[in-house]
Structure 1
Amino acid sequence: MEAPPCYGGESDMYLVSSTDDSPGFARLEWALTHSAIIALDAEWKPLRRRGPHQPDFPPHVSLLQIACRLHNDNNSNKQKQKKKKPPLVFLLDLLSSPALVTSIYHLLADVFLSPNILKLGFRFKQDLIYLSSTFRSHGGFHRVEPFLDIATIYNNHLNHRQQTRRKATTTKSLSFICQELLGMPLSKELQCSDWSLRPLTQDQMTYAALDAICLIDIFDIFHHTILTQGAIQSPTEVDSSGLSLGLKQILREPNNSTRILRTTLCEAVEMVRATIIEYPQKLHAELEVSLKKSSWDTIPMDYTLLQIVRQYGDKLILAESDGKPRTSKKKGKRKSSTGLTCKEKRVDAIDEWQGPPPWDALLGGDGCPKFLCDVMVEGLAKHLRCVGIDAAVPFSKKPETRELIDQAIKEKRVVLTRDAKLLRHEYLLGNQIYRVKSLLKNEQLVEVIETFELKICEDQLMSRCTKCNGRFIQKPLSIEEALEAAKGFQVIPNCLFDRNIEFWQCTDCNQLYWEGTQYHNAVQKFIDVCKITSTD
């Protein structure tokens, strides 16, 4: 299978769709018993709410991603000599067969509670709730430890932009964290794709694999940071003189607690069994259970990783209420600022365009296409601006439906969305909403151009501000004028000073642009995407 292009190099990827897969499932079992760290993520198809008084059941997880960092790839001494190997990535297809689901459940039940494997996730509690619901017939999952949340690591230890050590009030997206720490954003174009369809596309599998791989790459930065800062001791810094102390003396001195050599749970149980001559039946049963669980043979953590777990490790515990379905409350009608009542009445969904658009001259419009892209297609808004089309976004980051409707009506725009629920609103049905079917931004752009019969020419390209949708000033700026305009606002690279380059400034947000390499690459990209024929 084609390997995903991970941040640290090419990574081996396995799609596990049955217990008979070779080398899929067997390789998964081996990797989990030889892993020091695993990163977890899940994908699912969201379920639509079935009624105002009916419960919202958690969606069924369609795909579970596990990235494994093996023990021999986590050795800090080897790290000095060569770069760490990329992790192994397993995509577990939970829709393929009941036998696979049962086998995966038993594996995960051991992994989630293994003290020898550090589990990583990004806001993983929601994923765990959905996983527990998916495996409800097998008993579900209720606990994961030791666990580290990448969001917590970033906020408390890796967010270099924080001026204080106070806990951040808001959590950055995983894509933002990847951009800042790894130098590459995590594309979220396929996040809302239908993960229940089979077969999965290569793009979907690559997207899913990268979601797990990046968690291990971010943890590596955290690992290096705390070692550099001296927050934990490296194995060479540990004083071994305490190993000759008696057990009673070691236990009396708290500072010597880390000097005790670890042993496996099986050996510990046998020690207790040999020490206690007579013990209650309940204790005997608990020891037998512990001995049985420890038969899943894993390798103990190395010293530095164990220190990280002790100082920074956490646990995920699901309460009984987390797995219960939630019942939605019926909302009353709300009056919008335009005097129209936003009706929640369910109507037949219309996927096809029902023009003419509100900017049409026959409807009193100015003839200039204008769109309003909701949060699900914000990337499409930037692409439309790049080809010279007026594409606005909602005023607020999380707009309510009535706010979206008000803005579209006031500004005579067509709402572009991938949310089928918006089609239920009567006031946006006729000619003011279009549901985009494509998933990728380039394909979405072509779809909108063809649907609305937009005329795109080369002169229009890069004629709008991609940041705010504003127009540029009519006259270009010289380098001296650009430097003056950029003071305290924007940094102009020194390499541009000796080049005869024209600068353009947005009339709305004052952002400066220049015709550099990125500009020419972008122009050529949209010429190819839109199939524009040069007039020269």
Structure 2
Amino acid sequence: MDSNQVSSQNCFQVPNQETHFISSPDSSEFFLFIWALNHSSIVGLDSEWKPSQTQNSHNFPKLSILQIACKLTSFSEFPLEDDNSRETDKSNCLVFILDLFSLPPSSIWKPLRDLFISPNVLKLGFKFKQDLIYLSSSLTSQGSEYWFDKVEPYMDIANIYHLLRKNHGGKVRAKESKSLATICEDLLGVHLSKELQCSDWACRPLGEDQISYAAADAQCLLEIFNMFQSKLRYEGLICLESHPSTSIRGLKEILIKKDLGQNVLMHPFCQAVDMIKSIYLQPVVQSVMATNSFSLHCNTPVSSDSLSEIVKRYGETISLKVCDRFPKPSGRKARRRRGVKKCEEEWMENFCDWQGPAPWDSSAGNDGCPKFLCDVMVEGLAKQLRSVGIDAAVPFSKRPEPRQLIDQAIKEKRVLLTRDTKLLRRQYLSRNQMYRVKNLAKDDQLLEVIEAFDLKISEDQLLSRCIKCNGRFIPRPLTGSEAVAAAKGMQAIPECLLLQQDYEFWQCADCNQIYWEGVQYHNAMQKFITICKLNE
């Protein structure tokens, strides 16, 4: 069944052509990155690092990648214009992923420093101070002093969320703190998957799903800010357009200033360039600036008065102190917490191995059909299990309580699959009610569950369940006309399939989703045959 037709959740994704992975300072992507920094007035910042299973109080984690989403003000002089006459997205957004394991610190430190302190670029982040500390520590650990002291102007998405909700005048309280995924779902109505947050970011090459995940984390910051800016405009709190007369008067004042220092030309010229660009004389200025495309001294100015007012009214500053350069020493509570954690880890080592018997065991009078309940931390595993014909349900609610998960598993005679170690601390659990999944990748998780429970998978079972809802298909296939009638108002069936008489359509008996045996069906079949080792 064609997986393009499976849309269990409206996931936030970034088009591949808008994402650029940079691993060399000599690449065309790096040149595009520098160009984008000079033509952006808003950027979204995020980073990823390999999660550590043990707390090391002596060193900060080493960043793997830094994501920068650039909101472009113009595509004039686009560096890659010869690439099949590129058609730009309406969002005018490019996402760059810097490979900090491959790029020399000396090649990126100056562009990043200029970006972080540029008054003409608004920086967006989600609790980015910690990322900034880790970034500085990662670059400095390679031999030189590459420390970032400040990010300004800056706005935190957590504060923007509370401003949109008008909660406590924008102040964030600890008990009301929400995750970025929750904010995206609440404001944008899209699902920001966090399954890969704990994947191995130190492994190279990074997978396509990891790159997509990292790009979405950065670009969603721009989307949330767009909503915030639109709301302020709608409420009349910011003006809608700039006034050229103000720019002209400012240009005149700049040009008549006298300065006998070394910057007698450069400093007034750069300010004058900014003013000229703001009154739409951009082509003339760009020809003069062509030789200075690798510097942020002549940044594109804020494109509208509205953005300037937002920065003036809501802008913040991230400042790092000397004490931030060193991990904080562990206190008495931290030592006690580590002791408790060590005891829990020893206890959980004995708990992780499956003991059995399973709730569906035929010896207890049950049907013998394996049934699982996958919590939100292994949501992708549920789709993998359904793809090989295994009954895999998900919780009724998006944020279930631990007791609700256990009650659902007991009621439906399922084994709860999770990576949440906190669930294992529940005293009312028995060993045949839960299994802790050890692997991070979905394909590895599937193989782990098959081997742990000794599941018998046949080729006839593959893709025999609805990936969307876990339902079964109706007994007979549908004709093209029947499929069109059944899918009306729900999903679109490509017309090219209806012209071919050899296509069969299948419908889920529960959610009415339509499937057919397309190219992706055959690719998925081959993939699961390999994973389940059915060709051996």
TM-score bin (small chain): 0.5 to 0.7
Q: Which of the residues 45, 48, 52 maps onto 1:40? A: 45
Residue 185 of structure 1: aligned partner:
191
- Report SS of the residue matched to 2:200: coil
Given residue 296 of structure 1, which amino acid in structure 2 is its aligned partner? Answer: H
Residue 279 of structure 1: aligned partner:
none
> Per the alignment, do residues 232 and 65 of structure 1 end up closer, same or farther by CA in structure 2, a change over 3 Å counting?
same
Given residue 132 of structure 2, which amino acid in structure 1 is its aligned partner? Answer: L
Matched, 1:116 2:123: no
Matched, 1:150 2:151: no
Separation of aligned partners in 2, 1:463 and 1:139:
48
Separation of aligned partners in 1, 2:192 and 2:449:
25
CA offset digits 1:425-464 (Å, max 9, x no partner): 9x99999644342523x77456534642447879995799
Q: Which of the residues 60, 81, 86 maps onto 2:92? A: 86
Residue 201 of structure 1: aligned partner:
207
Contact 2:71–2:94 (CA under 8 A) maintained in structure 1: yes
Mind listing any 5+ residue stretches in structure 2 that lack a counterpart? 1-10, 77-87, 265-294, 472-488, 491-507
- Report SS of the residue matched to 2:439: coil
CA offset digits 1:501-523 (Å, max 9, x no partner): xxxxxxxxxxxxx9676545599
> Per the alignment, do residues 116 and 412 of structure 1 end up closer, same or farther by CA in structure 2, a change over 3 Å counting?
same
Separation of aligned partners in 1, 2:371 and 2:18:
45
Paired residues for 1:430-445 under 5 Å:
433-440=435-442, 444-445=445-446
Residue 220 of structure 2: aligned partner:
214
Residue 67 of structure 1: aligned partner:
69
- Report SS of the residue matched to 2:135: helix
Separation of aligned partners in 2, 1:370 and 1:430:
12
Mind listing any 5+ residue stretches in structure 1 that lack a counterpart? 75-81, 245-259, 275-293, 335-340, 470-494, 497-513
CA drift of 1:396 comes to 12
What count of residue pairs does the alignment treat as equivalent?
428
Residue 24 of structure 1: aligned partner:
29
> Per the alignment, do residues 517 and 450 of structure 1 end up closer, same or farther by CA in structure 2, a change over 3 Å counting?
same
CA drift of 1:110 comes to 1.5
Q: Which of the residues 327, 332, 337 maps onto 1:324? A: 327
Separation of aligned partners in 1, 2:408 and 2:68:
43
> Per the alignment, do residues 204 and 416 of structure 1 end up closer, same or farther by CA in structure 2, a change over 3 Å counting?
same
CA offset digits 1:326-352 (Å, max 9, x no partner): 423224988xxxxxx993364996999
CA offset digits 1:203-248 (Å, max 9, x no partner): 2222212221222222223223322322111335x5958987xxxx
Contact 2:69–2:218 (CA under 8 A) maintained in structure 1: yes
CA drift of 1:296 comes to 3.4
Contact 1:189–1:439 (CA under 8 A) maintained in structure 2: no
Residue 104 of structure 1: aligned partner:
108
Contact 2:66–2:99 (CA under 8 A) maintained in structure 1: yes
- Report SS of the residue matched to 1:219: helix
**CA RMSD of superposed structures (Å):** 5.6
Given residue 120 of structure 2, which amino acid in structure 1 is its aligned partner? Answer: N
Contact 1:385–1:465 (CA under 8 A) maintained in structure 2: no
Worse overlay, 142-151 or 173-182: 173-182
Matched, 1:130 2:137: no
> Per the alignment, do residues 300 and 164 of structure 1 end up closer, same or farther by CA in structure 2, a change over 3 Å counting?
closer
Give the number of the structure with larger relative contact order, counting CA–CA contacts within 8 Å between residues 6 or more apart.
Answer: 2
TM-score, length-scaled by structure 2: 0.61
> Per the alignment, do residues 268 and 461 of structure 1 end up closer, same or farther by CA in structure 2, a change over 3 Å counting?
farther
TM-score, length-scaled by structure 1: 0.61
Residue 255 of structure 1: aligned partner:
none
Separation of aligned partners in 1, 2:149 and 2:463:
59
Contact 2:125–2:221 (CA under 8 A) maintained in structure 1: yes
Separation of aligned partners in 2, 1:342 and 1:522:
51
Worse overlay, 192-201 or 297-306: 297-306
Separation of aligned partners in 2, 1:150 and 1:515:
42
Separation of aligned partners in 1, 2:183 and 2:462:
35
Residue 417 of structure 2: aligned partner:
416
Give the percent of matched residue pairs that are identical in Structure 1 and Structure 2: 39
Contact 1:372–1:393 (CA under 8 A) maintained in structure 2: yes
Matched, 1:235 2:236: no
- Report SS of the residue matched to 1:67: strand
Separation of aligned partners in 1, 2:209 and 2:419:
19
Contact 1:38–1:216 (CA under 8 A) maintained in structure 2: yes
CA drift of 1:66 comes to 1.1
